[in-house]
Structure 1
Amino acid sequence: MRVIVTVVEKITSEAHINIPDGLNQSAIKQHIVDCYNTGEMQTEMNIFQVDFESISARIVKEQSSILLGENHD
């Protein structure tokens, strides 16, 4: 029997970036999003906490059972 197990985890990461002086709150948010989207921040991220959210399993039926319901006369 084959089972597909899905684990959902919440990962908390921390990154240290430099933000130009004089930006308002909206510009700071945009700067952070831009750093993340360009991949600039991604390489600096350090995972320091992983919280377990959920786990589930789905049984994968054998090839022959996939054909059930079809007429093969």
Structure 2
Amino acid sequence: MQNSDSDFFGRQGDEKILYVVRPHPLATTAALIKIYIISLAIFFVLVVLGSQIRVVSSIFYVGLQQIPEHLPGMR
């Protein structure tokens, strides 16, 4: 059965639809803002963690026996 304005699934006999419950438009906006805040928090956590972790390429392990002096922060 298809839902419409005058009918709904599970309707019995001559039941009347008293009211239709719909969420307030601000509820959708509030949910989106909540998702944006959570995603920004996760982004900032990843940025902070990414800035704290030293990036080491495997070429330093394979190709170089010593790290050159002109590469600061790699020792």
TM-score normalised by L of structure 1? 0.23
Higher fraction of strand: 1
Higher fraction of helix: 2
User: Highest Rg: 1 or 2?
Assistant: 2
* Structure of higher RCO (CA pairs closer than 8 Å, 6+ residues apart): 1
